[in-house]
Amino acid sequence: MASKRSIWSKNFILLMAGDALLFMVYNMQVPVLPLYGKSLGMSASQIGLFVGAIMFAAMVVRLFSDRLLHYFKKKTLLIAGVLLYLAASVCYPLFTAFAPLIAFRLLNGIGHGLGTTYFATAAADELPLNRMGEGIGYFGISSMFSASIAPLVALPIAQKISFNAFFLTCILILILAMGMLAFIKPKVKPVVATKKTRLAGIQKDFFAPIAADLLSGFDSKRGAVLHCTICRNPPRSRYCLVLLYRRHCGCCFTANRGKSL
């Protein structure tokens, strides 16, 4: 019987709220930044470049989203994304020259790419598999809702008060999003025994490769292990023990050491 575990965990709610706030700031800036650029004397083409640069930077960052996970945790990347967003929002009213504003918009795009990518993937990690579609649906609704009300909030502030008040509002919303991230606790995943952990007690001299083993059991052209250098049997996989441990397969290792894998 399928599990009925609730999708409304603390982490999922915080991630959904943080993503909604990030999307709200983005959609607040879309209608206001052209007005801000016009007030600074930008031409139509400059305004288009100023507003659209964020998507170029976000697209480039997303190309490396998988590789970044090899070096950083998702929460770290989320915090970095929101901080970059926050830094850009602070700098917009402080600089009026076109070149610095483009640089800050690109910085904003890096934060946007990191934030929108890892908010979604982190939220998916919190959902049970049998309710993934339902959870992602609610997650998307929250983003669309915040996007729909963002212009209604942004334009009156920018037009009736000031651009500085608008940017201050964006900063406060991003600080709130950062606060959401502070309360997220990473899930503790059960430790799964792997070949590496099971072999932690192997004697040090066992790891020293032997030239004859390397030459006899490895096909240098294909980059694949052909057979065990003791029993001549093929390994269990291309990335089996034979790649690191004297190119012996699991059965020979067990026989020689008297330990099960």
22 CB-contact burial (10 Å; exposed 0-12 / middle 13-18 / buried 19+)? buried
pLDDT tens digit sequence for 169-205: 999 999 999 999 988 887 665 544 444 444 444 444 4
More confident position, 239 or 117: 117
pLDDT tens digit sequence for 86-110: 999 999 999 889 999 999 999 999 9
> For the residues 47-68, what does the mean pLDDT come to?
91
Phi, psi of 224 (to 5 degrees): -125, 150
What is the chain's percent helix, strand, coil content, to nearest 5?
A: 70, 0, 30
Distance of CA 200 to the CA centre of its chain: 31
Of residues 37, 173, 175, 153, the one with CA closest to residue 105: 37
Residue with tokens 């072999």: 199
pLDDT tier at 113 (50, 70, 90 boundaries)?
Answer: very high
pLDDT at 44 exceeding the cut of 50: yes
Six-digit token string for 210? 């032997």
Q: Which domains occur in the chain, in start order?
A: 10-182 (1.20.1250.20), 195-257 (no CATH)
Q: CB of 52 within 8 A of CB of 82? A: no
pLDDT tens digit sequence for 124-142: 888 888 888 888 999 999 9
Rounded-to-10 torsion of CA 240, 243, 247, 251:
-10
Q: What DSSP designation does 90 have?
A: H
pLDDT at 224 exceeding the cut of 90: no
Q: CB of 140 within 8 A of CB of 12? A: no
pLDDT at 151 exceeding the cut of 70: yes
pLDDT tier at 227 (50, 70, 90 boundaries)?
Answer: low
Helix axes 44-63, 10-39, angle to 10 degrees: 150
Beta-sheet strands, E only, within 208-256: 218-219, 224-225
Q: CB of 155 within 8 A of CB of 31? A: yes
pLDDT reported for residue 171: 95
pLDDT reported for residue 259: 36
